[in-house]
Amino acid sequence: MVVARALERGVKGFLIVGYDLESSERAIELAEYLPWSYAAVGIHPHDAKEFKEEDLKVLEEMAAHERVRAIGEIGLDYYRNYSPQEDQRRAFRAQLELAKHLEMPVVLHVRKAFPDVFKILQEVEVTEGVFHCFSGGIQEAQKAVELGFYVSFAGSLTYGSRKLEKALKGISKDRILLETDAPYLAPGDYRGQRNEPAYLVETAQKAAEVLGVTLRDVATWTFQNALRFLALPERETEDTVE
């Protein structure tokens, strides 16, 4: 029913993101089953303390699947610090090296760690990916774009954050993506409930309001940006929103 509700509201496809080996495998299984769906595989910074070098081989094997389009969710989280920061940096760097070797984009999780993330990205020379569920300000957004990345906004954009709104307005339309981060960060009137892809429309409406454009404008831009990010052929955006 979650998928049906999303399709009814005009969501045309899904990127299902893993956060450890088990969930990455599940992401692939769902991507095989669901219409127009793709997967990302990776080990989240929360689980970095469990990261082993042999995990890279497993991720590389997963990444060979035709439905896998990115390495992620990877990154640094100095807010929760569920794993020691040194372990986080070690796992992050190793997975960036893998993505570079495979010529795949990355899905980045960054909380209170932008300086280290930017530093490591430049050291490894990874220039393709997305800052998922963006939580920074305009300077961080512009730096991400300068390095070649997309910036993705979730339901938190609807929470009244002037910082996020300025960040959205401060980057070019060809670098903007939208997401749900389901089951977290439900937007608007759904806040506090379990999030799901159908609610992406509310985030898109807020983005249109902030940018002073139409909902269809936002749907068109972000749809085409998503296709480029995933290295997929261009498709028509007609009927992509209610």
* Cβ-contact 170, 121 below 8 angstroms: no
Q: Report the pLDDT value the prediction gives residue 12, as an integer from 0 to 100.
A: 87
Q: Which amino acid, 225?
A: N
137-156 pLDDT, tens digit each? 999 999 999 999 999 999 99
Instruction: Read off the pLDDT band of 242 (50, 70, 90).
Output: very low
Please check the confidence at residue 240 and state whether its pLDDT lies above 50. Answer: no
Q: Could you give the CA distance from residue 127 to residue 49 in angstroms, rounded to a whole number?
A: 26
Q: Report the pLDDT value the prediction gives residue 83, as an integer from 0 to 100.
A: 98
* Three-state DSSP string of the chain: CHHHHHHHCCCCCEEEECCCHHHHHHHHHHHHHCCCEEEEECCCHHHHHHCCHHHHHHHHHHHCCCCEEEEEEEEEECCCCCCCHHHHHHHHHHHHHHHHHHCCCEEEEEECCHHHHHHHHHHHCCCCEEECCCCCCHHHHHHHHHCCCEEEECHHHHHCCHHHHHHHHCCCHHHEEECCCCCCCCCHHHCCCCCCHHHHHHHHHHHHHHHCCCHHHHHHHHHHHHHHHCCCCCCCCCCCCC
Q: In the predicted model, what is the mean pLDDT of the chain?
A: 95
**Average pLDDT rounded to a whole number, residues 146-170:** 98
Please check the confidence at residue 239 and state whether its pLDDT lies above 80. Answer: no
45-93 pLDDT, tens digit each? 999 999 999 999 999 999 999 999 999 999 999 999 999 999 999 999 9
Q: Could you give the CA distance from residue 187 to residue 177 in angstroms, rounded to a whole number?
A: 15
Query: Which residue pairs from 224-228 have beta carbons closer than 8 angstroms and sit at least 24 positions apart in sequence?
Result: 225/150, 225/174, 225/175, 225/176, 225/177, 226/13, 226/15, 226/177
pTM given for the model: 0.96
Q: Report the pLDDT value the prediction gives residue 60, as an integer from 0 to 100.
A: 98
Q: Report the pLDDT value the prediction gives residue 236, as an integer from 0 to 100.
A: 58
Residue 108, token pair as written in the block: 């980045």
Please check the confidence at residue 42 and state whether its pLDDT lies above 50. Answer: yes
175-208 pLDDT, tens digit each? 999 999 999 999 999 999 999 999 999 999 999 9
